[in-house]
Amino acid sequence: MNQRNQLIEPSQLDQLTQPKICLNCILPANFPGVTFNSEGICNYCQNFNGHEVLRNQKEHYEKEFLNLIEKYKGRSEYDCLMCYSGGKDSTYTLDILKNRFGLSILAVTFDNGFISPTAIDNCRKTQC
């Protein structure tokens, strides 16, 4: 019997028709690197150490970032180099670096042939 003619028990239908997702955070099974335990909880939820640990990590990395700014800001024509795609995430980041931290930014875009015309247009229009 080939795979196409295999009998399926009714209890297996949910597994075949429902996409597998984490029962805690709904991360889908096709997310890179995700695994699930026997209770259907993903490895990212299993490894989450709580909001206080997360808050401490954010404070730690913010301090490191501010130390880098203090160390390098104003030492040359540009304070930093940034890969800029013209999408909303990199445009937001560019805005934060410029307007919150006052950095002089050299924004670089690489057209790999897959960049959308809108993104290229955004790159041309954006001033930093």
**Nearest CA-CA partner of 120 in 92, 96, 78, 90:** 90
Of 13, 25, 66, 96, which one interacts with Zn ion (CB under 5 A)?
A: 25
Per-residue contact flags (x/-) with Zn ion for residues 42 to 61, judged by CB under 5 A: x--x----------------
Which is nearer to Zn ion, 24 or 104 (by Cβ)? 24
**Closest distance of CB 24 from Zn ion, Å:** 4
**Closest distance of CB 45 from Zn ion, Å:** 3
The one-letter amino acid at 2? N
**Closest distance of CB 31 from Zn ion, Å:** 9
Calculate the dihedral angle through the C-alpha atoms of 49, 52, 53, 58, rounding to the nearest 10 degrees.
130
Query: What is the C-alpha to C-alpha distance for residues 106 and 37, in angstroms, rounded to an integer?
Result: 45
Query: What is the C-alpha to C-alpha distance for residues 101 and 66, in angstroms, rounded to an integer?
Result: 9
List interacting residues with Zn ion (CB under 5 A): 22, 24-25, 27, 42, 45
